[in-house]
Structure 1
Amino acid sequence: MDLRPVRRRAGPGPARVRPGRVQHGHRASGRRARAGGPARPRPEPVEGARGRGAAAAREPVDLRLAAARHGAGDRDPALRRARALALPEVHRRGHARPCGDPGPRLVTAPARRRRRAAAGLVVLVACSASIAAGGERTDAGTAQGERTWFPSRTLFAPPLAGSLEPRFGARLLVADLGPVNRTLGVASFGDTFGLVRWRDARGLDWQLGLVAGVDALFDLETGSRELWNTDFLVGIPLTLRRGRLAARARLYHRSSHLGDEFLLGDPPVSVGRRRELSYEVLELTAAWRQGPTRIYAGASRLVGRAIPVGRHLAQAGVEYAPDPDGQRRARPFAALDLAAWSETGWEPEVTLRAGFAMPRPWRGRGRLLVSIELRDGPLPFGQFYGIDSRWVGIGLSLSD
Structure 2
Amino acid sequence: MKLQRVHTTADVRALGVCLLLLAAPFAAVPPLVAQASGATASGIRDPNGHPFRTPVGSPLEPVHRLALLRATRDSLRDGIALADIGDRLGFWIRRDPDGEVEYAGAIHGGAFSRFDLGGPDQALIEVHYRIGVLLRGRFGAVAARAELYHLSSHLGDEFLVDTGTRPISTSREGLELMLQGSPASGLTLYGGPGLLLRATPDFEPLSLRAGAAWDSEPGAPVRFHASVDYFGWAELEWKPAIAAELGAGLARGTRVGLLLGFGPSRAEQFFRQSERLIGLSVSHVR
Q: TM-score range by the shorter chain?
A: 0.7 to 0.9
Give 2:208's aligned residue.
314
C-alpha distance in 2 between matches for 1:206 and 1:358:
31
Residue 201 of structure 1 and its aligned partner are, at CA, apart by 6.7
**What root-mean-square deviation, in Å, do the aligned CA atoms of Structure 1 and Structure 2 show?**
2.3
C-alpha distance in 1 between matches for 2:71 and 2:160:
21
Q: Counterparts in 2 of 1:54-73, with a 5 A limit?
A: none
1:23-65 residue CA offsets vs partner (Å, 9 max, x unmatched): xxxxxxxxxxxxxxxxxxxxxxxxxxxxxxxxxxxxxxxxxxx
> If the length of structure 1 is used for normalisation, what is the TM-score?
0.58
> If the length of structure 2 is used for normalisation, what is the TM-score?
0.81
Asked whether 1:392 is paired with 2:274, we answer: no
Unmatched tracts of structure 1, length 5 or more: 1-97, 101-133, 142-150, 361-366
C-alpha distance in 2 between matches for 1:265 and 1:292:
47
Contact conserved, 1:177 with 1:389, CA < 8 A, in 2? yes
The amino acid that maps onto 2:94 is W
The amino acid that maps onto 2:72 is D
Query: Alignment partner for residue 246 of structure 2, among 333, 350, 354?
Result: 354
1:306-328 residue CA offsets vs partner (Å, 9 max, x unmatched): 2122211101111111364xx37
Tell me how many residue pairs correspond in the alignment: 248
Asked whether 1:213 is paired with 2:110, we answer: yes
Asked whether 1:375 is paired with 2:261, we answer: yes
Q: Alpha carbons of 1:231 and 1:153: their partners in 2 closer, same or farther (altered >3 Å)? A: farther
C-alpha distance in 2 between matches for 1:334 and 1:243:
25
The amino acid that maps onto 1:204 is V
The amino acid that maps onto 1:182 is D
Give 1:119's aligned residue.
none
1:196-251 residue CA offsets vs partner (Å, 9 max, x unmatched): 11124784110000101001000101001011100101110100013321110000
Give 1:249's aligned residue.
146
C-alpha distance in 1 between matches for 2:282 and 2:49:
20
Matched position secondary structure for 1:264: helix
Give 2:171's aligned residue.
278
Asked whether 1:298 is paired with 2:192, we answer: yes
When Rg is computed on C-alpha atoms for both structures, the one with the higher figure is 1
Asked whether 1:235 is paired with 2:132, we answer: yes
Matched position secondary structure for 2:282: strand
C-alpha distance in 2 between matches for 1:357 and 1:191:
19
Contact conserved, 1:218 with 1:225, CA < 8 A, in 2? yes
Counting aligned pairs with the same residue, the percent is 29
Contact conserved, 1:322 with 1:333, CA < 8 A, in 2? yes
Asked whether 1:330 is paired with 2:233, we answer: no
Contact conserved, 2:41 with 2:141, CA < 8 A, in 1? no
The amino acid that maps onto 2:255 is L
The amino acid that maps onto 1:354 is L
Unmatched tracts of structure 2, length 5 or more: 4-37
Give 1:188's aligned residue.
84
Residue 154 of structure 1 and its aligned partner are, at CA, apart by 3.4
1:109-132 residue CA offsets vs partner (Å, 9 max, x unmatched): xxxxxxxxxxxxxxxxxxxxxxxx
Residue 262 of structure 1 and its aligned partner are, at CA, apart by 1.0
Give 1:258's aligned residue.
155
The amino acid that maps onto 1:242 is F
Matched position secondary structure for 2:162: coil
Residue 399 of structure 1 and its aligned partner are, at CA, apart by 2.4
C-alpha distance in 1 between matches for 2:67 and 2:56:
14
Residue 137 of structure 1 and its aligned partner are, at CA, apart by 5.8
C-alpha distance in 2 between matches for 1:216 and 1:229:
6
Q: Alpha carbons of 1:286 and 1:233: their partners in 2 closer, same or farther (altered >3 Å)? A: same
Residue 135 of structure 1 and its aligned partner are, at CA, apart by 4.0
Q: Which has the higher contact order (CA 8 A, sep 6+)?
A: 2
C-alpha distance in 1 between matches for 2:76 and 2:172:
31
Residue 336 of structure 1 and its aligned partner are, at CA, apart by 1.0
C-alpha distance in 2 between matches for 1:283 and 1:216:
23
